Amino acid sequence: MRKRTVQSEWDSFVMMVLPADAGPVQRSEMRRAFYAGGEATRRLHWDIGDKSVSEDEGMRMLDEWDKEIKQFAADIAAGRK
């Protein structure tokens, strides 16, 4: 299995989503947004590691984030976002 990094995820994202004719500004702005999403995710996960969050609460938080992301994808697919 290949080593997964944020960079390798960006590379996969580029292959799946970024238009081949995207200009440098679009590519740069999308990369910034992608990494900002990574930072937001890191902060959310860091909250779970906080000793004030129980294991059950951490699992609930992960489940809520999963549902939120899946709903966003469904909205995109339906043309709502």
Q: What is the DSSP letter of 22?
A: -
Q: Give pTM, 2 decimals.
A: 0.78
Question: What tens-digit pLDDT sequence spans the chain (81 residues)?
Answer: 778 999 999 999 999 999 999 999 999 999 999 999 999 999 998 988 877 888 899 999 999 999 999 999 999 999 987
Secondary structure element (H or E) that encloses residue 10, with its range: helix 6-17
Instruction: Give the start-to-end residue ranges of the domains of the chain.
Output: 20-77
Question: Which residue do the tokens 């951490």 mark?
Answer: 58
Question: Which residue do the tokens 């995109």 mark?
Answer: 76
